[in-house]
Amino acid sequence: MSATIIKLACPDRVGLLARITNFVAAHGGNLLEVNQFTDPLSGWFFTRMAVASESLSVDLEAFRTAFIPVGRELQAEWTIRDSREKMRVAILVSRLGHCLADLLWRWHSGELAIEIPLVLSNHEQFRSTAEREGLPFRHIPIDASDKTAGFAAVEAAIDEARVDLVVLARYMQILPPDLCHTYAGRIINIHHSFLPSFVGANPYKKAHARGVKLIGATCHYVTSELDAGPIIDQEVVRVEHFHQPEDLLRLGRDCERLALARGVRAHIHDRVLIHDGRTVVFRD
């Protein structure tokens, strides 16, 4: 059954859920799923509702337009989207292809219901991987001495592909602040560390030197502050005393694949709400 997804966050007050569900009922909507959470510390309300599209008495655009006064009344940030509309996702990758391969397998198998209009890299080595799947591949090198031109080309390629989401699948370049701002809340990164520990490069080497007993990976939204964006998902694995740095790399890559896939899945199904540097994630 197709669903119309309402995602909303606003200041908390009495009767919020009733106000929204009454609006849905007034338009003939049959609720398939309702998730809600009120953060007592921030006084903020979050909800995600799935409405049977066939039950609505109006089309999607009319339903969305009718909700505008409600959203204004509630001082809300909100979206209403048809679940059948596949998000357009650009995947950026550098020299390590395990996350790219995992995402492509999940896409090919139908586990991730997305369109991929662009695979982009600062290296050539995954061109054949993308083209074998019939996906457009762009190679845009980034000159370490002057990254401005390279990132201008990257942004132009992303804009041209008309994407809803950018996924950094071990794309080992720090995006410029302007690009982070333009696509705020729409760039997902996988960091090979259980953030906020071991920020930056070589986290597994740092973790081994520190003798940690758990390592992990963090899927988060990208902001202009390095590795500090709102966290969507994390995965961990136990480390034994005999594990060497290369073992941590092997174990960590499994964590990276899982955390990134879960984070992307949550985003494309409108299950992530961002507020004040943190996320509320309604799991499926």
| Other beta carbons less than 10 A from residue 118's beta carbon | 22
Cβ atoms 28, 55 nearer than 8 A: yes
Sign of the dihedral defined by the CA atoms of residues 120, 89, 273, 266, in that order: negative
> What is the helix (H) or strand (E) element at residue 7, kind and residue range?
strand 3-11
* Longest alpha-carbon distance in the chain: 63
Distance from C-alpha of 223 to C-alpha of 203, rounded to nearest angstrom: 19
Alpha helices in 75-202, H assignment, sequence order: 98-108, 127-132, 148-160, 177-182
- Percent helix, strand, coil in the chain, to 5, is 35, 30, 35
Q: Is 67 exposed, middle or buried (0-12, 13-18, 19+ CB in 10 A)?
A: buried
Catalytic residue selected from 227, 233, 254, 270: 227
Strands 165-168 and 187-191: parallel
- Half-sphere exposure of 155 toward its Cβ, with a 13 Å CA cutoff? 15
Is residue 12 flagged as an active site residue?
A: no
Closest CA to 260 of 190, 195, 194: 190
Q: Name 218's bridge partners.
A: 191, 234
Residues identified as active-site: 227
